Amino acid sequence: MGWPLERLRRVRFVRRFSRTERTLHWVNAAGFLLLLASGLILYLPRLSVLVGRRPLIKDVHLWGGIGWIGALAIVVLLGDRRGILRTARELEVLEPSRFNVGQKVNALLNAAFALLFLVSGLLLWFGERDTRFRFTSTVLLHDILMYAALTLLVGHLYLAVIHPATRHSLRGMTRGTVREDWAKRHYPRWAPPPAD
Ligand code: HEM
């Protein structure tokens, strides 16, 4: 008797994401999903008719976009800035470490997309008020970004929530820790700090 306790004792956890990293991720995800939903309502004629209230949805989309980037900046400014800088440096080098190559490419693309979404979105907004800011391909860029970001998101959600081998990662993004044996198997080159 007593073996379940033994087994429980052997399950050790290591720290995967700091509080700042997790806050940044979830603020980013919430903002992105709000913009995706409001953007799709503006973009798809059927949804547009179904929901109506176009001026309101447009306001939600515009201020949601500004709020999204602003909220990310606030999390970085008030959070563990050094830790975020360390993570950014880790992501710059494509060799696997705490993240595999796919995750690094995903993170870099997400950062580039956020910037391009912001620039093209602001140009669309200014363009409505001043013809000097009107360019023929701004709408196209904004739309292509949406398709690309949506494709990445579907893959990301599959790995984070459905795929049996990888979905344990969700614990890292919610509680901050993952099982040590899982970490060793998935990230052999990562030397994780123990969970406190
Ligand atoms: C709303 C549902 C979402 C869930 C459940 C989710 C889940 C996760 C998990 C579990 C990780 C950690 C993977 C690891 O252990 O390394 C992660 C990382 C990450 N997530 Fe999400 N995420 C969501 C939405 C988003 C959205 C909307 C974006 C961006 C638009 C995003 C961008 C990222 C990035 C850039 C990373 C770091 C690199 C990577 O692991 O690919 N996530 N997410």
Superfamily of structural domain 18-186? Transmembrane di-heme cytochromes, Chain C (1.20.950.20)
pTM of the shown model: 0.91
Give the closest residue (by CA) to ligand 1 atom 37. 107
* Cα distance between residue 121 and residue 97, in whole Å: 34
138 CB near ligand 1 (under 6 Å): no
27-70 confidence digits (pLDDT tens): 999 999 999 999 999 999 999 999 999 999 999 999 999 999 99
* Spacing, Cα 29 to ligand 1 middle (Å): 8
90-129 confidence digits (pLDDT tens): 999 988 899 999 999 999 999 999 999 999 999 999 999 9
**Atom of ligand 1 at shortest range from CA of 103:** 41
For helices 101-129 and 138-157, what crossing angle results, to 10°?
A: 150
28 CB near ligand 1 (under 6 Å): yes
Give residue limits of the domains in the chain. 18-186
* Cα distance between residue 38 and residue 44, in whole Å: 10
